[in-house]
Chains A and B, each alone.
Chain A
Amino acid sequence: MNMIKKLGLPRIIIILFFLSLWVTAGVLKLYLPDYLTDSMIRIGMNLILVLAMVPAIRSGIGLNFALPIGIICGILGGVLAIEFKVVGFEGTALVGLGGFLFALSIAVPLAVVFGWLYGILLNKIKGSEMLVSTYVGFSIVSLFCIAWIILPFTSDEMRWPIGKGLRTVVSLESTFGEFLNKLWAIDLGKVSSSFRGLIIPTALLIFIAFVCLIYLFFSKTRIGIAMKTVGDNPKFATAIGLNVNGYRILGTILSTVLGAVGMVVYAQSFGYLQLYQAPLMMAFPAVAAILIGGATAKKATITHVVIGTILFQGLMTISLPVASTFFLEVAEFDGGNMSEVFRMIVQNGIILYALAQGGGSND
């Protein structure tokens, strides 16, 4: 009973759902290794975006719904890598590394600047961060919709053949698409035929583990501890002489930078950059994932990030094939887009639950 109270009903439902879907997948004789591979890639693809929530929550600004700011920086990095045709290490196993690093080297400084500006804004609106940040995120995305049309990019890979502006979806195939997915990937099918199709994206997992470790290390440093103090108890922090606003800005910058890095990783896994409206709602799955992992608007750890991403992305990967196969057998219709509806309900349900739990915590 205590356990139920601690986890909260929605999380228990989600965990049960997660387990039952994977079991159902087994019962329906779906080929699980394929979906395990898919899950691993999706977890790797999304984890850093989820991690971006941690510094925001820790420094006291709450769930960062303005993640699209970081995401836009990441996209800019990717777009510029294509524009300047940065690939690097062609002909070696590391092909794409150059493009990947180039994208990061553009995205991170941009994210620092945007995050800093945005942090200053957040210090002026204490108490309404979540709502305002949602609309700041939306505004930035729609502002960049205009930018994608008028910015003077020349690469034929990105421009519409006729008309103005960039395409809605740009392939990263020629630069760093699936670079981390494929690097040092271990095909377990070669070990035993019963694992056929199970591929471990080693480099991707190493990279996200690396980023998580850096963050873990940072949180143990003096600055990291001070930032957490500011988030936990701003009044106490002021009393012991910490610069509350400064640390909040630092948290915002870190969150935005992680958002940018997360986007570059996301794009390379996906193999495409999605421009225009695509980033509009991207903060919500990340917010939902960390909440599913057990975080609240005031408390978040890397464990929450890892558990949450595994649960949420694992759930999303398996719900599509299970729904479509199940409904095809039972009701003879394709339940494929059921998983999208299902995602909406899970994602927004958990956010709503977290908000209701925080009841009146605006002081």
Chain B
Amino acid sequence: METGKKYLEMANSPLMWIAAGIAVFVVLMQSVIFFRKSLKAAPEVGLTKKQVKMAIQSSAISSIGPSIVILVTMISLLVTMGAPVSWMRLSFIGSVNYEAMAAGFGAQAMGTDLQHLTPIAFSCGLWTMILGSLGWLIFTLLFADKMNKVNHLLSKGNERMVPIISAGAMLGAFANLAAGNFFTETNSLTIGSAPSLACVFGCGIMMVLTKVAKTKNIQWLKEWSFAIAMFSGMFVGYLAR
């Protein structure tokens, strides 16, 4: 524990807060620039003030739940990697599962694990986290502005294919993310476990609310349906645990 204390003092030093703060500032700067440009462009493409307001409110409402989950997992990362690094990594590039894994790989490469970090293993974990996430940044830097071409390729130039690609990609990706909830520890299928019920109810409630909000054109429900579905599903899972 003695060495542990020592590296955590370093990990939580003011200098580390400054270093992490500069990196986080880039994320903030980008979102402010993009937000302002989009607000300016909105009327030019025929969006009404009301549509923009709906987008802002629905996203703000929907962000709160996931942020709290990230917050709770950040606290668990904070114990091993210190506050500045955890804060930077989860506001910037990273995601919850990735960070602990990457730091663990780095520690492993120095012959230890996250529970028994030495200063040098901590450093190696940090390098691994950072280098391991560059792939997303570099791919985005190089190809984001050319991705319309991928879409064009998938749709074979047929305009009507575009919404089908969107739906297919989203349904495929989120079915994949959700699928893990339908398996037991022994890797057989289940639909009675708490996570699977949370998932099924989240999905079912969202389907009903989306349909109702759309057909009856209920404005407030359009903004709240995602948050309601998410928290009700969570609650069902909690009750069924």
Q: Do A and B bind each other?
A: no
